[in-house]
């Protein structure tokens, strides 16, 4: 359900009706584009196991099993995380 930690893909645990969720994704989009990362949005209401775990904590920004921030984008933390991510081989 949540992306593999090695992939350059953020997962946002979200709800369709959640304005904070939409705000976090909108704020994340330019940062993700700058670092070449994808964004996957997962609606916790469609996955009972995620809803049971995350419920009122959404939005949650994840990379693999690592929680990077929730409720609001911590841009400085996300940029630091992306900067420390191993470079991808282009060979």
Per-domain residue ranges of the chain? 22-83
pLDDT at res. 7? 84
Q: Please identify every stretch of the chain with a pLDDT value under 70, giving residue numbers as ranges.
A: 1-6, 86-91
Residue 51 and residue 82: Cα distance in Å, rounded?
27
d(Cα 66, Cα 34) in Å, to the nearest integer?
21
Residues with Cβ within 8 Å of 91's Cβ and at least 6 positions away in sequence, in order, are none
The pTM of the full predicted model, rounded to 2 decimals, is 0.86
pLDDT score of 31: 97
CA distance 31 to 41: 15
Q: Reduced to 3 states, what is the DSSP secondary structure of residue 39?
A: strand
In this prediction, residue 46 carries a pLDDT of 96
Q: What is the pLDDT of residue 89?
A: 45
Residue with token string 């916790």: 44
């Amino acid at each position: 359900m949540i992306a593999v930690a090695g992939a350059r893909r953020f997962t946002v645990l979200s709800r369709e009706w959640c304005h904070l969720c939409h705000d976090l994704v909108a704020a994340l989009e330019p940062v993700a584009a700058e670092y070449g990362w994808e964004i996957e949005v997962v609606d916790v209401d469609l996955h009972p196991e995620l809803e049971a775990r995350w419920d009122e904590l959404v939005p949650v920004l994840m990379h693999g099993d690592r929680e990077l921030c929730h409720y609001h984008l911590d841009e400085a933390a996300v940029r630091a995380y992306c900067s420390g991510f191993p470079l991808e081989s282009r060979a």
